Amino acid sequence: MRTGEVFALTWDDIDFNNRIIKISKIVYAKDKEENGRWYLGTTKTVDSQREVYICDTLYSALSDYKKMQNKYKKKYGKNYKRYILEEIKNKYGKLVEYKIIENNSKRNKIEMVFTRNDGTYSGTDVIRYSFKIIHCELDIKCRFYDLRGSFATKALRSGIEIKDISRILGHSKIETTENYYIISSIDNLKTVCEFIEKEIDIKIMD
pLDDT at 194 over 60: yes
Helix axes 146-157, 162-169, angle to 10 degrees: 160
**Separation of alpha carbons 85 and 97, rounded Å:** 9
State the DSSP H helix or E strand holding residue 83, giving kind and residue range, or none if neither.
strand 83-89
In this structure, are residues 26 and 41 in contact, taking their beta carbons and an 8 Å threshold?
yes
Q: How confident is the model at residue 25 (pLDDT cuts 50, 70, 90)?
A: very high
Q: What is the mean pLDDT of the chain?
A: 86
What predicted TM-score, i.e. pTM, was given to this entire model? 0.79
Neighbour count for residue 48 (Cβ, 10 Å):
20
Q: What percent of the chain has pLDDT over 70?
A: 85
115-156 confidence digits (pLDDT tens): 999 999 999 988 888 888 888 888 888 888 888 888 888 888
